[in-house]
Structure 1
Amino acid sequence: MRRWLASLAGLAALGAATGWLVTAPQPLETTAQGPGDATRGARIFHVGGCASCHAAKGAKGDARLKLGGGAALVTAFGSFQPPNISPGPDGIGGWSLADFDNAMRRGISPDGRHYYPAFPYTSYARMTPGDVADLFAYLRSLPAVAGKAPGNDVAFPFSIRRGIGLWKRLYLDAGPVIALPATAPAEVRAGQYLVEGPGHCGECHTARDRFGGPDRAHWLAGAPNPEGKGRIPNITPGKLGWSAAEIADYLKTGFTPDYDSVGGSMVEVQANMAELSDADRAAIAAYLKAVPPHKP
């Protein structure tokens, strides 16, 4: 009996040690190298929609550059509060570029904890190191904002951050979502990078499984609104019948081909897309016309 209990205790210890290793944060082996270029970083800032989450709700003009934290994202898993990412001491003022890169592409905080995937690092993982460095340079050029955002409100078992390490092993993938043909035009490939990477369009437009991971078999085919109101639309060619030119114009002006105007959470997204170049919007549109179609 004593030997059996000792064996059981040994197996339990081995299981605990294995679980601890499997769920451990996995920092980047090689991080982005600086200095980045703040001018180029402004483009990535708008593509990524940083102000939409990290500026105060309803902020306009220069107030969108004060990134002290925005409105909470309320989901079935809990309420997640966007943090202060301004360059002040309450934000990322004390971070190194390596800290920022690990946060962006691995979802790891400077003190070694997992970030919740409400922060879309599963998309940012596809960003180039150069774009990460440029974005960091741009954020450091913005006004410092005092004050820390409130903490997240997440119920057990989701409150156990260590468990996110296992989730990352299932869903954190720096590879492309869609395998484009070798003959895909450069414009489509540029759009793929913007949509699948910094633009993180799939975070809202793709349905999720019961563990909160994206259902890649239905990429961009629409999903329930994570905040519980309405549905995020299908933007694949199977549903969205707009031409590439009409998509690009919508991103620029906020008007649909039938003269309706942008609404809901897309208002913020369109405001960000309007800051991009015509070439970037055309690339996004070209990629959206190239993804596999899904009908409702």
Structure 2
Amino acid sequence: MNKEQMDRIHTGKGFIAALDQSGGSTPTALLQYGISKDSYSNDEEMFNLVHEMRTRIITNPAFNSDHILGAILFENTMDRKIGDQFTADFLWKNKNVVPFLKIDKGLAGLENGVQLMKPIPNLNELLKRAVEKNIFGTKMRSVIKEANSEGIRKLVEQQFDIGKKIAQAGLIPIIEPEVDIHSKDKEKSEELLKSEISNQLSALDKDVKVMLKLSIPTVDNFYHDLMDNPHVLRIVALSGGYTQSEANEKLAHNHELIASFSRALSQGLTAQQTDKEFNLMLSNSICTIYEASIK
């Protein structure tokens, strides 16, 4: 484990850029970027276009370690290069930004008020490749729709069971049990979630470190005490469907909670923009998300 990267994620000022839209969400990400489905005819062309988009973001002067601590990549991006370097190496060597990898394969159907992760085939092989590609940590998402205690318990158990395997492979797992921001009992779900996370943290071997990626809580600073847990390297927040301004405003009310935004980061960026227009939009987004993250 890279100590410099560990220290940067644990104590650095900034946020995590989520650039990890995967197969199912890539067409939507491209559409928001101004590229319609009739611009490509197969997956290879689609992934070429999304890699061009991500390369344009990552190589931008505004995308730097002054504001950004880490970046989460999709598997296809990890396997591609920026210039003559694999993406993770480019991020760390050229930008001093710590690389993470999204490893989940999407969501299962709704059951007991939650959506667990689908099985992750060849997990050990993927983790081995991630280590070889100099990835620091991984991210995996599941979703809570209702305050169902059994469903939330199973969801958190699944996250931590896989998280332990990730830690054994020498990587830092980002545990992401998202609470749907539109849930009618979001606050109750967060109470159940926090309790289950605390139970799982208390059962970890003493040297295991995890990160948590959570929806911005209904009650300000609700997760703050988890930040002091010796197993928790950092807690980051997802934008969860909020606009960038909404997410920033809510995040700023949560002391030491930092952003790991995807849609809210890329909001307003399009393929049709000139480099000057693109640079200005991305720079403004990065600066406002950074300011909300250091409150």
Higher-Rg member (1/2) = 1
TM-score between the two structures when normalised by the length of structure 2: 0.25
Using the size of structure 1 for normalisation, the TM-score is 0.24
Decide which structure has greater strand share.
2
